[in-house]
Structure 1
Amino acid sequence: MSASASAPGKMMLSGEYAVLEGAPALVAAVQARATATIGPAPADDPHVARDLDHAEPRYPEAARTRRLAEKELGEQAGALRIDVEALRKAGRKLGLGSSAAAAAAAAGAVFVGVGRDPQDAVSRARILSLALEGHRAVSPNGSGADVAAAVLGGVVRFRLDPATREADARDGSWPEGLVARVAWTGQAASTRELIGRVHALRDRDAAAYQAAMQRLHDESAHFAAAFQESPAAIVEAAARYHEAMDALGRAADAPIVEGRLRKVAELAAAAGGRAKPSGAGGGDVAIAFFTSDEAAADFEARCAAAEYDVLALELGGPGVKMSSAR
């Protein structure tokens, strides 16, 4: 007998870097889903999760979250098997938050195993708390916005208290008339390396760091306000956030807005929209915003001509939920 749950990936809409300093962030679920299954599995199965105390850890965020959930609900027999292939392209990560989705799915599988619906409001709140704790135990530098999107789904308004590390995650909604497309740069980025360079800036030049972060904080607040105003305001806010991320990268000598992301932004602007990195930058994916389907189609054509992939991703949709065991 197996218990299985799935959880979506994430797309950062705004708040990159600044969310760690307390700025508001917006993050959307992406219906490319990770699946976690607790049940029988071969000993040599490469998809079985292992915590950091194992000689060869795999999906440690998921393994740790399972431990925490079982401490609360009781141990379950079987291995934890993780499938994140939907969050990859040709075996390469896309920057869609696969580790957060795996952690959320792992907690969901434990809840399914004891007969609780992960989508129930009470269960969902507990899964969020457990997945945040499990993910942070392995990756302490993240904000948790990706975990919130994986658990809650839809659009999430997220804020982190930098002093207490308490997360405030609330359901939001997608603005009527706003059209978005996700473009893959073809280059996987190292979030850890980029954050390391930003932290190095903080250590060597506190004033430059504060100036860059204040600008991002202000643009995060501007984007959050625009998200409640109009699609045109969001398009303009995306351009401003892109520029603020680029300024942070230049100050930190970090390729946050590298050549591919810069090109995607140019293609979006030529089509009448605006684009920005989604996540830490350095490659991975960009999100482009438009006020019409026609402009988005123009962007897709321009990306195809420039040999950039526009990913067929549904933004929003359900968070963690029970899945058919496989």
Structure 2
Amino acid sequence: MAEQTVVEQTEAEQTVAGRTVVRHAPGKLFVAGEYAVVEPGTPAILVAVDRHITVTVTGSAGADVVITSDLGARRVPWRWYEGRLVPRALDDEHGARRALAHVVAAVETVARLLAERGLPVPALDITITSRLHEDGRKYGLGSSGAVTVATVDAVAAFCGTELPAGDRFRLALLASAQLDPKGSGGDLAASTFGGWIFYQSPDREFVLDLARRLGVERTLRAPWPGHEVRRLRAPEGLSLQVGWTGEPASTGTMVSGLHRRTWRGSDSHHRFVRTSTDLVHACVEALQGSDREGLLHQIRRARQELARLDDEVGLGIFTPELTSLCEAAEAVGGAGKPSGAGGGDCGIALLDAEASRDISEVRQRWAAAGVLPLPVRPALEGIEE
């Protein structure tokens, strides 16, 4: 993209600059399909949760873009240079770009789309606040995905471009894949669409190459082989309980560790993908048929498959806390498993919604094992104004 500059504002642009646009994007939890979902066309089930990241965009009177965030760097001014955002304080360029990587990538991706449409990007003041963290603690609820989706939608809307949900997701995936093409994008889908969702990832290298060759606009309109996302019915009669282990984990690091191992491409790897695909489809059937016991059985299978993967590859998916979380859920007839890459962060349990004593017992056992029960519920909607 040609160098993006902040042009002198016309009267219409001054009106836009005086606006305030706010977007709230929910976090996510994986229900089934972790690790396998990074393979294009392989399914997973996720649920959006009612903790959000909020992105507020107003006009900036100073730098081309100013980003203020409680996720890391507090307030950083940026300038456009050859289609990229560069921190004005170059002595900490790498630190600022690392702390705000997903926000910057989202702004740059929207700017590419606007440039292709012949539209300017006014000076922006972007503020990010998060309920997916608390006192600096990361819960593992998909903050990177939520902030990417919220930033894409807020910046586009501020610049006068309203995005349908599908475009919002695709722009967010293009932004995220630039940073890490190994990420599945499931977190982006949950933040975009909300509720319980069935998700299959596209080939991220394919869509990045498409964007390089054809541009962002045409990539949004092109088919993305393997990609699918649709809403699912919420499970009936089951309560989703979430426990935080107190240990932050890096999904990117865990997935990268798997990609570096010779296990990938082996017979065991193919068996894992097939089994994960089978159990995800079985979960979908159970949800559609309101088959509570069938769903619990598949969630227990998902836990067993992750344990087998952990034994074979040695990623450290299961910590003592996550193991205790699962065992407590199964002890009362429920099902529990790590949510996401494991190694810390959160685990989930599905328990009889009417068995309040069992739910209380599980939460007490979690607390005794060092697992903090989180007061989160499924978010029925995706990104909101």
**Do both share a fold (TM > 0.5)?**
yes
Q: 1:257 aligns to what?
A: 318
Distance 1:125 1:193 in 2: 28
Which of 282, 285, 304 is matched with 2:346 structurally? 285
TM-score (norm 1): 0.88
Map residues 1-326 of structure 1 onto 2, 5 A cutoff.
1=18, 2-21=20-39, 22-39=41-58, 40=60, 45=68, 46-48=73-75, 54=87, 55=93, 56-57=96-97, 58-73=99-114, 74=119, 75-84=121-130, 86-114=131-159, 123-162=164-203, 164=206, 166=224, 167-202=227-262, 206-229=266-289, 230-294=291-355, 295-322=358-385
Distance 1:260 1:277 in 2: 10
Distance 1:48 1:15 in 2: 37
* Structure 2 residue runs without a partner (length 5+): 1-17, 79-83, 88-92, 208-223
User: How far does residue 5 in structure 1 lie from its aligned partner after superposition?
Assistant: 1.1
Distance 2:264 2:112 in 1: 42
Distance 2:319 2:369 in 1: 16
Amino acid at match of 2:32: S
Q: Which has the larger radius of gyration?
A: 2
Shift of the 81–306 alpha-carbon distance from structure 1 to 2, 3 Å rule, reads same
Distance 2:110 2:343 in 1: 34
Moved more, 194-203 or 26-35: 194-203
User: How far does residue 203 in structure 1 lie from its aligned partner after superposition?
Assistant: 5.5
| CA deviation string 1:297-324 (max 9, x = no partner) | 33223223434211001212221122xx
Distance 2:264 2:180 in 1: 24
Distance 1:172 1:204 in 2: 30
TM-score (norm 2): 0.75
| CA deviation string 1:65-123 (max 9, x = no partner) | 12222333441322322222x10133121111101100111012124314566xxxx62
Shift of the 266–65 alpha-carbon distance from structure 1 to 2, 3 Å rule, reads same
* Structure 1 residue runs without a partner (length 5+): none
Distance 1:204 1:140 in 2: 16
Shift of the 226–201 alpha-carbon distance from structure 1 to 2, 3 Å rule, reads farther
User: How far does residue 223 in structure 1 lie from its aligned partner after superposition?
Assistant: 2.5
Moved more, 28-37 or 46-55: 46-55
Distance 1:70 1:245 in 2: 40
- State the identity %: 29
| CA deviation string 1:129-149 (max 9, x = no partner) | 111111111121111110011
User: How far does residue 190 in structure 1 lie from its aligned partner after superposition?
Assistant: 2.3
Confirm or deny: 8 A CA contact 1:65 1:134 kept in the other structure: yes
Distance 1:225 1:24 in 2: 13
Distance 1:62 1:199 in 2: 26
Amino acid at match of 2:367: A
Shift of the 313–63 alpha-carbon distance from structure 1 to 2, 3 Å rule, reads same
Q: How many residues align?
A: 317
Distance 1:306 1:203 in 2: 32
| CA deviation string 1:271-318 (max 9, x = no partner) | 221101110111100010113332323322322343421100121222
Distance 2:348 2:174 in 1: 28
Q: CA RMSD in A?
A: 2.5
Shift of the 125–282 alpha-carbon distance from structure 1 to 2, 3 Å rule, reads same
Q: 2:12 aligns to what?
A: none
Confirm or deny: 8 A CA contact 1:181 1:310 kept in the other structure: yes
